[in-house]
Amino acid sequence: MKYTVVFHTQSGAMKFDSKMKKLNIPCTLQPVPRKLSSSCGICARLAYEENPLALVEPEIERIYEDKSTNQYVLLYEDE
């Protein structure tokens, strides 16, 4: 499955990217799709076969499952 992770801050996105690399989970940082706009403007895109909610940490604002091009399903939102 593919996911888009949106963060509260750019530093949170960079920490998450570093953590994913250490766990050997393919992850790329890129601008947040306009449809999902975020306060920090950076998101992580990753392929992950397990429960994505296991990746939740305080810097994550939202996690979306990528259904297809420009179609996302909200799985997690920080309150």
pLDDT in tens, the chain (79 residues): 999 999 999 999 999 999 999 999 999 999 998 888 766 789 999 999 999 999 999 999 999 999 987 899 999 999 8
Which residues are bridge partners to 66 per DSSP?
72
Cβ burial 15-52 (10 Å sphere, 16+ → b, else e)? ebbeebeeeebebebeebbeeeebebebbbbbebeeeb
Q: Taking all residues of the chain, what is their mean pLDDT, rounded to a whole number? A: 92
- Total of domains in the chain: 1
CA distance 6 to 62: 5
pLDDT number for residue 38: 61
CATH number of the domain to which 64 belongs = 3.30.70
pLDDT number for residue 68: 81
> In terms of residue numbers, what domain contains 16?
2-77
- Cα–Cα distance list, 72 to 34, 48, 68 (Å): 12, 15, 7
